[in-house]
Structures are given as structure tokens and as C-alpha cells.
Copies of this chain bind each other. A is one copy, B any other.
Amino acid sequence: MQAVVISIGTELTLGQTVDTNSAWLAQRLAEIGVETALHLTLADELRPVEAEIRRAASSFDVVLISGGLGPTDDDLTRQALAGAMGVSLVVHEPSLIQIVEFFSKRGIAMPDANRVQAMIPVGASAIENTTGTAPGIRARLGRADLFAMPGVPSEMKVMFERDVRPALAARSGDGVILQAVIRTYGAAESEIGRQIADLMKRGRNPNVGTTAQEAIIGVRINAHGKSRDEAKRLLAADAAEVRRRLGKVVFGEREETLQHAVAELLWAAGKTVSTAESCTGGMVAKRLTDISGSSRYFLDGVVTYSNEAKHRLLAVPAEMLARHGAVSMEVAEFMAANCRTISGSDYAISTTGIAGPTGGSAEKPIGLVYLGLATPHGVSGRELRLGDHLSRDQVRDRATKAALNMLRLELLGGR
């Protein structure tokens, strides 16, 4: 079974909003053995949307649409769908009642504009929206099962999981694609490609490829099997082989982040961490607390942005700041060491650097960052020269990743 995923919204075609729905939907489809061949993003224009819906429904088994079901005049998906089906729109009474109730529960009368959200094409059925006002629409068109969902990601996701996935899983059946993504940090993409070149040969099953994204290199494995078990077996074999070859640069799978890896290691060891940040401004602490249950390992953090704060909160000597500058190995190591002492944690991470885009000099260019790591066995530091071609965000992101990875490798120890 092959699918096309369509996102509708002029804010998307004009690039004012990044479409995250299509990627999410494609992932969910893959989980039930439906391969997404194509994503299409269209503006809020009646005729083109109508034409593309018709074309998609004639070529694919599944058409998923998100967006354009809102209450305002620029939301045209239901009209376009009715046009593609060659039918008119009618009010779906149960949906209307639900929308009225949605507002009355919040103590407000339904705005007139929202009435249109209860309309669906003749012959289609409504999909209940349990988290917002716009019901989804399910229809049969051409060779396709077609599902239109709201563009708001949280509403779309609930609707997909609750109604669309079960409907599709029931229809699917011949062959399953299972996928794994193994995430690495610390080796270049071409180096990874060299180490697994034989697995990446075209036409091979599983199909293996690499992707680089903000210093994380992902190795993606797609295994096709006649049965779920067969796909699972193929996938597991390749995943194990990739992990074996790449070793410690592998830190996780799929959506896992360096902070997930660090969290697992801290949990397993029963250890705690604290942070002392300058240039990353709280990003390291934020990522360490991304994880539910982080209170078991994260004690506290300080963001000592000014020299005065470095002195007051971490007792960095004024003399050291004057002599080496705030952006120096000495200060990074001191920050980490004293952060660990003050908070009583097992480990402490520190960052100090020049995030840019201003503030660089010949001696201390943008992208120069010092990291400190204090452990029960001592303190170490690391100098990063990330380069002035990176944005402020990127410098902070890379510094944060490098800091988390320092701790990860420390926790891995001799393993």
C-alpha cells in the first residue's frame, strides 16, 4: 500500500510555517506497513487543492490531508474535497452539536464562523475531534481511502491515533516495512558511510542510508518483510551490525537525543548532575530536564551570564577572569569544579564561549567554546572551535551537544 500525504495552507507554501505534520504522519504510516511515496504541500486555493486531491486519489491507496479545516475564510479543504468528489457540503448535526458544546463548556457562545466546521461532503463521514472544534472527514475517492484532519498538530495527532490508524491498519495487510534509525554523534557522515558501505548498497533489503542533521548523523534502516516477523528479524540483524561497527559514537535510536542517553546512564549509575552555563544560557539544563523523571538525576543549574554572576554564584576569582578572560579553559574548569562542590552532585558540566554573531575577536573568534566536566575523579576541559559560519543558535546547540556527549562518554567509561 502506498500513500501520499498532503499539507494544505498558504502559510506552508510561502514558508512562514514549517510543515511537521507530513513527517509525523509518514512515520505513523510506516509503522503499519504503508509506504509514503510523496508529500505535497499546497496553498489555500480551491482549484489546485481539488485537482491534486483527485490526482492523488487516482494513483495511491491512501491519501492523508492535514490543514484547511479551520473556521476562517481561508480554510478550503472541505470545499475542495467536496469538489473533487463532485458532491455538495451538508451540515453534520452531531458535529454541530459537539462544536456548540465545545464552546459552551468554556462559557462562550459558538462564533458564527465555526458553524462551517460542522459541514462535510455528501457521502463522506465525520471523524470526531476530541481536542478541538473541527471534525475530520473520511471519504472513499478513486482507489483511495482519504482522511482529512485539522492542521493543528496536537489535534491531528489525537485524531490519527484514535480513528485513522485503526481504520488503515484494518485495510493494510500485504507486507510490512519496519524502520530503525540509529543515531550517532562524533563521527563525520562520510566516515560512517565508509564503515557501513556494504550495507548501503542500492537494492539491498534492508535499505540503509545516512542523514546528517545539526551534527547528529542518523543511520536509517528500512526492512521490508512479507510478515511483521520477517521484517523484524531483518531489521534487528542490520541494527546490531551497524551498532557493532560504529561503537561508542552510537548514542540512541529514532527520536532519542544525547540527553536521553545521558539520562539512562545517570539512572543506571544512580548518579546526579548539575550545570553551570554561560554561553549556552540554560540550554544544557533545559535539555537535561527534557526527560520526564529528570528530577532523579538533575539537582540544579546556574546560568552565570555576567562575570559578576560567575563570581557570585560560582566564586570564580576576579583575578582569574581578568587574567584569562571569561572564555577560557581555566574558567570553564573552575566553573564545573565549583558547581559540583556547591551543589553536591556527582558530576557537573560547564560552558563558556562566544556564541556570536558579535563579540568575536582574532584571538577569541565566534564559535570558540570551552567546556568543563567535573567528576568524582577530577576535572577536565575541552576546547571547541565551531567556526564563525554557524549561527548563534547553532553554536549554542553544538556546544550543548558536545557538553552532553562529554558526560556521556565519561559515564560509558571503559564500556
Residue numbers of A with Cβ under 8 A of B are 9-20, 22-30, 36-44, 48, 70-74, 111, 113-114, 131, 152, 154, 158, 179, 181, 189-191, 193-194, 197, 200-202, 207, 209-213, 218, 220, 222, 254, 275, 277, 280-286, 288-290, 292-295, 298-306, 308-309, 312-313, 343, 355-359, 389-390, 392-394
Contacts and interface: CB of A to CB of B under 8 A. Distances in A.
A13 B39 contact: yes
Contacts of A304: 300
Given A113-B194, A394-B154, A14 B27 contact: yes
A122 to B, nearest CB: 23
Contact of A281 (B37, B39, B285): B285
A222 B10 contact: yes
A113 B190 contact: yes
Contact of A201 (B73, B213, B254, B390): B73
Dominant secondary structure at the A interface: mixed
Given A179-B16, A295-B306, A73 B200 contact: yes
A26 B9 contact: no
B9 A30 contact: no
Closest 3 CB pairs of A and B: A281-B289, A15-B26, A282-B285
A144 B128 CA distance: 44
A345 to B, nearest CB: 10
Contacts of A114: 190
B275 A303 contact: yes
Nearest to A211: B11
Given A113-B193, A113-B194, A294 B282 contact: no
7 contacts: A11-B220, A15-B23, A16-B23, A70-B212, A72-B200, A283-B286, A299-B306
A400 to B, nearest CB: 9
Given A14-B179, A37-B43, A389-B131, A71 B300 contact: no
A318 to B, nearest CB: 16
A288 B281 contact: yes
A286 B289 contact: no
Given A15-B23, A16-B220, A292-B357, 16 more contacts: A10-B220, A13-B37, A22-B41, A38-B42, A71-B189, A71-B193, A72-B189, A74-B207, A152-B212, A277-B282, A282-B283, A292-B356, A295-B305, A298-B305, A300-B309, A309-B343
Nearest to A286: B282
Contacts of A292: 355-359, 392
A289 B300 contact: no
Nearest to A157: B391
B289 A303 contact: yes
Given A71-B190, A72-B200, A306-B299, A23 B27 contact: no
B295 A222 contact: no
Contact of A218 (B11, B197, B306, B343): B11
Contact of A111 (B13, B44, B194, B355): B194
Nearest to A309: B300
A300 B300 contact: no
A17 B16 CA distance: 19
A307 to B, nearest CB: 10
B37 A40 contact: no
B309 A305 contact: no
A308 B301 contact: no
B298 A289 contact: no
A300 B302 contact: yes
A14 B36 contact: yes
Contacts of A26: 13-15
B14 A211 contact: no
A207 B44 CA distance: 11
A207 B9 CA distance: 13
Contacts of A357: 292
